[in-house]
Amino acid sequence: MSRSLDEKQFLENYDIHQYDVPLTSVDVVVFTIINEQVHVLINQRSDFPFKNKWATPGGFIDLKKDKSIDDTAKRKLKEKTGYDAPYLEQMGSIGNAKRDPRGWSVTVTYFALVNADNVTFGEDCKWCGLNDEGETGEKLAFDHNELIKDAFERLRNKAQYSTIVLHVLPEKFTLSELQNSYEIILGGKLNKAGFRRRILKANVIEELEGESKQTATRTAQLYRKVDDEEVHFYMREIYAR
């Protein structure tokens, strides 16, 4: 009894402001494909530090609005892009004394995959192309160049053994378009017959009966993602050559 009274008392008197605590934030690396190239979304900072510099979308947890850290990531993404439920996955956390000039900082990082046509944003955001090493060519705020590079590596890695790439495609797409997206992300060519076998066996897409797309030469069958939001994982990896 007295122990739980003690605990009650402890909690009533607890004040986090008495302690030296780190800054804790969230960052989201949003990937898409535009003009046969991987792009990430960057956002121009409106406040210090790094005011007016470009950075990945993110910010602090709102202890009132956000029920969980995933909520924070979703909220930030929605605020910047008006986009609601794309593929969003927690990637990891970076925390050290140097990354933020304000002091010791921890950021929980996420990465998202979106179809560019579904995203709208204002003057403070833009898409930024990545080279084969995951580099933007711009000097971003904080350690965000590094962050994007790591996220790109993770994306490329995961594309080797999952159906994750589906999320950059529009509602309807052909198998050639899907393969092309894989090739852009993986940075090499895939075997056509093998790719088709693999993706069809995974049961993550379905034919749109009677719907086909005009290409430069003959028509191609259109497909869509199966309702099920899950990512399929293969037992073997593929290699792009």
Partner DNA sequence: CTAATAGTGTCTCTTAGACAATATATT
Partner DNA sequence: AATATATTGTCTAAGAGACACTATTAG
User: Does position 203 bind DNA by CB under 7 A?
Assistant: no
Q: Give yes or no for a contact between 169 and 177, defined as CB atoms under 8 angstroms apart.
A: yes
The residue (of 53 and 213) whose beta carbon lies closer to DNA is 213
- Closest C-alpha to 102, from 20, 19, 15: 20
Instruction: Please tell me whether residue 164 adopts helix, strand or coil conformation.
Output: helix
Distance CA 112, CA 80 (A): 13
Binder of DNA out of 96, 194, 203, 206 (CB under 7 A): 194
In the window 147-186, what residues touch a second copy (CB under 8 A)?
none
Distance CA 153, CA 187 (A): 11
- Closest C-alpha to 208, from 220, 198, 196: 220
Binder of DNA out of 69, 191, 204, 225 (CB under 7 A): 191
Near a second copy by CB under 8 A, which window of 101-109, 113-121, 189-197, 204-212? Answer: 101-109
Distance CA 190, CA 49 (A): 44
User: Does position 145 bind a second copy by CB under 8 A?
Assistant: no
Binding site residues, DNA, CB under 7 A: 174-176, 190-198, 201, 212, 214-221, 234-236, 238-239, 241
Binding site residues, a second copy, CB under 8 A: 3, 6-7, 10-11, 14, 16-17, 19-24, 48-52, 60-61, 63-64, 66-69, 72, 90, 92-97, 101-104, 106, 108, 235-237
